[in-house]
A = this chain, B = another copy of it.
Amino acid sequence: MTASPIPLAELNACSKADFVAALANIFEYSPWIAEKAADARPFVGIAQLFEAMQAAVERAPPELRLALIKAHPDLADKTQRVAGLTLESNAEQNSAGLDRLSDAEYTAFQRVNNAYRARFGFPYIVCVRRHTKDSILRDFEKRLPNDAAAETATSIAEICRIAALRLDQAVRADDRLPVHGRLSTHVLDTHSGRPAAGIPLELVELSALGESRVIVRMTTNHDGRTDQPLIGGRPVPIGNYELRFTVAGYFAERNVALSDPPFLDVIPLRFAVAEPEAHLHVPLLVTPWSYATYRGS
């Protein structure tokens, strides 16, 4: 993940051995998938490359698909962490905060791993970059009652999502895989009819079991937006969030008469993300005495 991405043209032109070496861990410990895909070269784009890899998985015999599933680590497993996760797998688990679990969370994840493995004989697999800790546990509750066939299919689907994200980071092409979402905001001061500049805000990931976690702190620019999206260039993890704006100082600086204490100061907008690859816009329309928000796009 730390290496700079390889141009697709290079992958199209290199030896099969180099191709396989470069993409060996796109699917966890499963270079055979890259091997199959190599035969379909050249690719006009990264989407076509990914399709070829996905096709290899889909056409593989059941034993091989099961082996692919079993090649994956348990979630948040401290033992495996010390031993040997792929670099990719380690970075992914950290992205969801699985490297800094509270004791209660660690216990919950252990329970999930064990219950799932006991029932299905393979690890609980989920594309963690698309999730928060809460939604991983929530999905588990939904998936545990399923039968083995359904969970095999779901595991393969999650593995493909993991692979798509790895491929997106490993290869550079003219096209992009649709693996990134975006979370943005906008503050409009409807008291003076202009964008609200200089509003401090923070995005917090809420957690049912552990501590809420500040994802980012920013300040609105002259257009009432943030210079960078709140979350961008990656999936927006499924989960519960609170976006907190601090507005009283903004109005006070503009000599707007406020009550003491001001009726509104920290304004929390609490919402859930359900589609990690979508663009979710959560704006704030605000006066010192009113506000509104909505799911925009």
Contacts and interface: CB of A to CB of B under 8 A. Distances in A.
Interface stretch (A52-60, A96-104, A270-278): A270-278
A261 B265 contact: no
19 contacts: A135-B261, A188-B294, A190-B190, A190-B289, A191-B289, A192-B289, A193-B259, A193-B289, A193-B294, A194-B297, A223-B297, A238-B261, A240-B265, A259-B272, A259-B274, A262-B272, A264-B270, A285-B290, A292-B292
Query: Which size class do A's interface residues fall under?
Result: 35 or more
Stoichiometry, as copies per complex, reads 4
Interface of A: 135, 138, 188, 190-195, 223-224, 238-240, 242, 257, 259-268, 270-272, 274-275, 285, 287-297
Most chain B beta-carbon contacts within 10 A, residue among A195, A270, A290: A290
Contacts of A191: 191, 287, 289
Contacts of A223: 297
A250 to B, nearest CB: 15
Contact of A274 (B238, B242, B260, B295): B260
A290 B297 contact: no
A214 to B, nearest CB: 17
